[in-house]
Amino acid sequence: MATTRLQHDAELYIDGEWVGSDGHLEVTDLADGGVFARVAAASPEQAERALAAADGAKRPMRETTIVERVEWLETIADEIEARKDTLAEVIVREAGKPISSARGEVDSAAERFRRAVEEARDQQGEFVEGTTEGHEGWRAIVTPEPIGTVLCITPYNYPLSTTALQLAPALAAGNSVVLKPASKTPISAAILAECIEAADLPDGAFNFVAGRGSEIGDVLAGDDRVNAIAMTGSSGAGKHVARESGIVNLHMELGGNAPAIVFPDADLSAAVSSCAKGSFKYAGQRCSAVSRVLAHESVHDELVDRLDAEMDDWVAGDLFEEETMFGPLISEGQADWVEELVEDAVAKGADLVRGGERDGQFFEPTLLANVPHDARIVHEEQFGPVAVVTSFAEEPEAVEIANGGDLGLDAAVFTSDYDRAMRVADAIEVGAVRINGAPSHGLGDIPFGGVKDSGIGREGIGYSIEEFTTTKSIVL
């Protein structure tokens, strides 16, 4: 495959203009090492300027029509598709994602803007009549209105598609936006900013400010001009943003530690295939990854043997080769964290069936069996390519283990018993349960988000539009 490298630094986009900065972020090339691009790092003063620009654009955005917003969304989708090859290459290099997955991410980003077109046209409001004594004859026109300025804070693991999932609904609802991407993966967001520039929004309606969270994060999150914050990231980072923000609408999809419960009557082949994909796709760096497999004691050993054999198919290698399925972790620090959790599990009695070794940022696919319930990896988010298999004896025990810890984003249940599937799904404290399949969030048709420390609100194109609007009642 022919590849190209960015030949210049990416700039910030503030108030309708591309601007540089005194500092910059270097973006590591996870495909072959080194630095492949740089992006201007916004200063606190530039972050303030972006907020002021977005604040000034609230009224012009509010006055736009649905027809205008639809045209913007369609243009942005077209621009993304026109840059598909470039965006896919950038995602491979900055996020360490295999080329096949990177292309899929570009497709999903464009499709999310197109789905927002459909949802934007459904913003019709409603007509309400008074039905209580003393209010007979009252009529109310209840209309949706933009919430104002939305601050979008996006993660490194899906730097384009998650950004689209935040931006598309925010713009569809008629809001102004300030986008702060993850500092490790800002280049795809910079290219997306070019796509949005082509849509010709009012000046200040969209602003792109890359930078370190320690330098501009609190400036952005703590500003009174921000009316809603959309964030995808770790639970710790989400709590910090929530502490810094004022009275704003928080729309957060945070950490996950998804359990996959496998009962004796499950289709074991399907369960193994789904759990392998759930554990190892993108080296496990996904909030919806299968973080622990809770296998009934009668099928534990067979499931482990089959999972071990399934892992032969998970090929690491050149990220630009079609057959490559995963690559390095995002950083040395992330590899250190995964290594720490694996060592803790083994020290507490877990069987290391396969893997466990690392080379810099690369952590080989790892299988742990008979993992004790008090191992940290059973309850903490790992974000690494480790399949964790622990056993249970009875259904209530499985539910208790699944509900242990502070996270509650996703879960999976494998069984051929419909009543059991629904009973367990009802009992697990999470935002979404997949029956006989690994957790997956799709394009945003189905709402997703977490409970406990896994988030606030529900993402999804239409559901996010609701989060980014307010209602006004005009009573006659």
- How far, in Å, are 102, 153, 205 from residue 167 at the CA level? 19, 10, 11
Indicate the fold that domain 12-254+454-475 takes in CATH.
Aldehyde Dehydrogenase; Chain A, domain 1 (3.40.605)
| pLDDT value at residue 7 | 47
Write down the CATH superfamily of domain 258-443: Aldehyde Dehydrogenase; Chain A, domain 2 (3.40.309.10)
What confidence score (pLDDT) does residue 8 get?
53
Question: Taking CA 296 as the corner, what is the angle to CA 291 and CA 301, rounded to the nearest 5 degrees?
Answer: 85
- Active-site pick, 79, 253, 466, 467: 253
| Cα–Cα distance, 44 to 23 (Å, whole number) | 12
For β-strands 362-363 and 176-180, DSSP reports them as unpaired
pLDDT in tens, 204-238: 999 999 999 999 999 999 999 999 999 999 999 99
Contact (CB, 8 A) for 88 and 102:
yes
pLDDT values of the chain reduced to their tens digit, one per residue, 476 residues: 334 445 457 999 999 999 999 999 999 999 988 898 999 999 999 999 999 999 999 999 999 999 999 999 999 999 999 999 999 999 999 999 999 999 999 999 999 999 999 999 888 888 899 888 888 888 999 999 999 999 999 999 999 999 999 999 999 999 999 999 999 999 999 999 999 999 999 999 999 999 999 999 999 999 999 999 999 999 999 999 999 998 999 999 999 999 999 999 999 999 999 999 999 999 999 999 999 999 999 999 999 999 999 999 998 889 999 999 989 999 999 999 999 999 999 999 999 999 999 999 999 999 999 999 999 999 999 999 999 999 999 999 999 999 999 999 999 999 999 999 999 999 999 999 999 999 988 888 889 999 999 999 999 999 999 999 999 999 98
Distances (CA, A) of 145 to 58, 123, 425, 471: 11, 9, 36, 6
118 is catalytic: no
Handedness of CA 366, 367, 370, 372 (dihedral sign): positive
- Give pLDDT, residue 403: 97
CA 329, 331, 336, 337 torsion-angle sign: negative
What are the boundaries of each domain within the chain?
12-254+454-475, 258-443
Sign of the dihedral through C-alpha 132, 134, 137, 139: negative
Q: Please answer whether residues 401 and 390 qualify as being in contact, where contact means their C-beta atoms are separated by less than 8 angstroms.
A: yes
The answer to whether 384 and 334 are in contact (CB under 8 A) is: yes
Can 275 be counted among the known catalytic residues? no
**What's the confidence (pLDDT) of residue 445?**
85
- Looking at the DSSP bridge assignments, the partners of residue 472 are 143
Catalytic residue among 94, 152, 287, 310, which?
Answer: 287
12-254+454-475 shares its CATH topology with 258-443:
no
- Exposure pattern of 180-217 as b/e (b: 16+ CB <10 Å)? bbbbbbbbbbbbbbebbbebebbebbbbbbbbebeebb
Using DSSP's 3-state secondary structure scheme, residue 471 falls into: strand
CA 3 remoteness from chain centre: 27
As a whole number of angstroms, the distance between CA 309 and CA 87 comes to 34
Name the E strands within 70-138.
Answer: 126-129
pTM for the full predicted model: 0.95
Tell me, what's the pLDDT at 136?
A: 82
Q: Using an 8 Å Cβ cutoff, are 157 and 282 in contact? A: yes
Q: Residue 309, Cβ neighbours under 10 Å: how many? A: 11
Nearest of 319, 362, 314 to residue 339 by alpha carbon: 362
pLDDT at 48: 98
